[in-house]
Structure 1
Amino acid sequence: MNIGLDMMGGDFAPLEAVKGVKQYLLAHDFDGLSLVLFGDELQLSALLAEQGVPQEKYQVIPTTEIIEMNEHPTRALKEKQNSSISVGFKYLATGKIDAFISAGNTGAMLVGAMFSIKTVEGVLRPTISSVIPKQDGGTGLLVDVGLNADCKPEQLNQFAVMGSVFSQYIYGVEQPKVGLINVGEEEGKGNILAQAAYPLLKENKAIHFIGNVEGRDVFGDKADVMVCEGFTGNVILKLAESVYDIAQNQQIDNPYLNRFNFEIYGGTPVLGVEKPVIIGHGISHGTAFGNMIDVAVRMLNTNVLGKVKEAISGI
């Protein structure tokens, strides 16, 4: 199993990326894992040695360019062929690595995912999701959280399937309850998109649809997978992230509120593409990088994207 990491992406790279590699390797005794690290060879070699990362567990692929956070994704990928993101996707597309991780330019990662390795056959649009901590200790999934600001009902129907499969195989939810984010519980509520998506979800035999869920249900146990277009999802995601920030600013140490720390979940996978691509927050530290590696390993071990492909072909 070869997992590629963009070591130059993120506000605190490459040091925090190296720390994440070390944290993961210290916590997991996995003989079949090899990490392929893309970035500045001199910087990485010095940091890896300084952190005491076992040399037999990684290889460094030298790159000379970095796609900055404010660059235009498509143009940057085209013009910076030797950037850590561009080279990483070349390795992924040619099978030299099995998964690719970055906390760098989100747009470049999404463009690379959709045009380097293609979408799963039948998927209308890939999507990204985010973990939502539940009050009962469970793990909820919100999808989409920003990739598709405007959606069609058929896309929400597919998001529900992909999110349900991911929840089942990665978070161990046996029969994920799927809810449609809406402004009321009753069928027929909401805008044109929600009204049109509801009957598709209701008739979808590949999911366990429980109806509409309101904003007050997001952190409860009513639904395990919550579906919406990316505009609404991103607003909910950023609101959830602020909960942790407020708790930290108020010096509140609460087991539930502490679960809103995005670092413990790593990053978000792009669902609907052929191979695992995981996107981290730009302000990721070592803990987040280590957990992104863990997500990639779990995705490969469970063949969750193969399960997504099977589920999509059945609807």
Structure 2
Amino acid sequence: MRIGLDMMGGDFAPAEAVKGVKVYLDNVASDVHLVLIGDEQQLAPLLTAAQLDQSKYSVVHSSQVIGMDEHPTKALKEKPHSSISIGFHLLKEGKVDAFISAGNTGAMMVGTYYSIKAIEGVQRPTISTLVPRENGSYGLLLDVGINADCKPENLAQFALLGSLYSKHILKVNNPKVGLLNIGEEEGKGNLLAQATYPLLKENKQINFVGNIEGRDIFSEKSDVIVCEGFTGNVVLKMAESFHEIAVKRNIHDEYINKLDFESYGGTPVLGVSKPVIIGHGISKGMAFKNMIQLAQQIIDSKLLEKIKESFVAKEVQ
């Protein structure tokens, strides 16, 4: 198994990326070979200082970096030797089995769409975030930003993608799916929610439990929470702000600390044919380590194959 890692993406790269690689290689027993994509001149002293097992990684040189504020499409076109461009080339050619970056999110999404295909039947890929719950388990919220406007059919697909992720990665048996809404009763909400409800209710591939309200997001009422990306991103950023406020006020709480989404690493792009993981721009060592581990889990669990099978089955119905 070969996992490609953009060493130049993120506010604290490449130093924190190297720290993440070291934590992963020192603590996770696996047959993973890491392909580190970045400027060799910057990486060499950091890798030497980290004293890594040289048999566990290789370096692919990139002479360019796509900045966080650059226009995604323009940057990918004008910087073919950037770490993100090279990473997608390696993924497309089958030279790595997954690609991870905490760099320019827009460039990662454009690269995903143009370098690898969506799984047949998937209308729109989606991204999700983990939602910590008081009992120590995690729910899943999606979409959280890349699909601000959606059709009911899109939300129905997000529900299936989220269910498969919850089952095979989070190990939740028969995950409960809830539609985020302003009331529990059927018929509540805007036109999108009203039109989505019957699609979820009729879908035999998911365990739909009905509408859930904002106060239910951090509860165990549903394992997968479905909404369009506009609402999902607002919820995500608000939850992140709770943690920021706690830090500013010097409040130490085990549960509040779990709202630091940066510590989870990144989120996979669900619905595409190869594993792509997008990290938070402020990712530090532990986040990079977690992203590598998540990529390994996705490959080991054969999640993408299970998604393909489910969408084929859905078309047959």
TM bucket normalised to smaller: over 0.9
User: Which residue of structure 1 aligns with residue 60 of structure 2?
Assistant: 61
Partner Cα separation in structure 2 for residue 252 and residue 314 of structure 1: 49
Partner Cα separation in structure 2 for residue 308 and residue 143 of structure 1: 16
Deviations 1:178-207 (A, max 9, x none): 000001000000011000000000000010
Q: CA deviation at 1:21?
A: 0.3
Count the aligned residue pairs. 314
1:300 is matched by which residue type in structure 2? Answer: I
**What does 1:201-280 align with in structure 2 at a 5 Å threshold?**
201-280=200-279
1:77 is matched by which residue type in structure 2? Answer: L
Q: CA deviation at 1:314?
A: 2.1
SS of match in other structure, 2:25: helix
SS of match in other structure, 1:190: coil
User: Which residue of structure 2 aligns with residue 179 of structure 1?
Assistant: 178
- Structure 1 segments, 4+ long, off by >3 Å, are none
Contact 2:262–2:282, Cα closer than 8 Å, also in 1: no
Deviations 1:248-290 (A, max 9, x none): 1122221211111223311000000001100000000001000
1:190 aligns with 2:189: yes
Partner Cα separation in structure 2 for residue 67 and residue 264 of structure 1: 23
Give the TM-score of the pair, scaled to structure 2. 0.98
Partner Cα separation in structure 1 for residue 47 and residue 130 of structure 2: 30
User: Which residue of structure 2 aligns with residue 199 of structure 1?
Assistant: 198
User: Which residue of structure 2 aligns with residue 165 of structure 1?
Assistant: 164
Partner Cα separation in structure 1 for residue 293 and residue 262 of structure 2: 12
1:135 aligns with 2:145: no
Q: CA deviation at 1:45?
A: 1.1
User: Which residue of structure 1 aligns with residue 3 of structure 2?
Assistant: 3
**What does 1:7-46 align with in structure 2 at a 5 Å threshold?**
7-30=7-30, 32-46=31-45
Identity %: 62
SS of match in other structure, 1:100: strand
Deviations 1:37-90 (A, max 9, x none): 111001111101111122111100001000001111111111100000000000
User: Which residue of structure 2 aligns with residue 286 of structure 1?
Assistant: 285
Partner Cα separation in structure 2 for residue 190 and residue 164 of structure 1: 23
Partner Cα separation in structure 2 for residue 193 and residue 48 of structure 1: 50
Q: CA deviation at 1:26?
A: 1.0
> Which moved further from structure 2: 263-272 or 221-230?
263-272
Partner Cα separation in structure 2 for residue 202 and residue 92 of structure 1: 37
Contact 1:126–1:273, Cα closer than 8 Å, also in 2: yes
2:130 is matched by which residue type in structure 1? Answer: V
Partner Cα separation in structure 2 for residue 240 and residue 313 of structure 1: 36
Contact 1:158–1:312, Cα closer than 8 Å, also in 2: no
1:155 is matched by which residue type in structure 2? Answer: N
Q: CA deviation at 1:302?
A: 0.0
Contact 2:131–2:139, Cα closer than 8 Å, also in 1: yes
Deviations 1:224-249 (A, max 9, x none): 00000000000000011112111211
Partner Cα separation in structure 2 for residue 165 and residue 102 of structure 1: 23
Partner Cα separation in structure 2 for residue 139 and residue 272 of structure 1: 21
SS of match in other structure, 1:127: coil
Partner Cα separation in structure 2 for residue 262 and residue 18 of structure 1: 20
Contact 2:62–2:81, Cα closer than 8 Å, also in 1: yes
2:7 is matched by which residue type in structure 1? Answer: M
> Which moved further from structure 2: 15-24 or 50-59?
50-59
User: Which residue of structure 2 aligns with residue 50 of structure 1?
Assistant: 49
1:285 is matched by which residue type in structure 2? Answer: K
SS of match in other structure, 2:269: strand
1:80 aligns with 2:76: no
Partner Cα separation in structure 2 for residue 296 and residue 41 of structure 1: 24
Q: CA deviation at 1:138?
A: 1.3
Partner Cα separation in structure 2 for residue 265 and residue 168 of structure 1: 18
**What does 1:144-163 align with in structure 2 at a 5 Å threshold?**
144-163=143-162
2:6 is matched by which residue type in structure 1? Answer: D
Partner Cα separation in structure 1 for residue 169 and residue 242 of structure 2: 25
Deviations 1:205-234 (A, max 9, x none): 010000001000001110100000000000
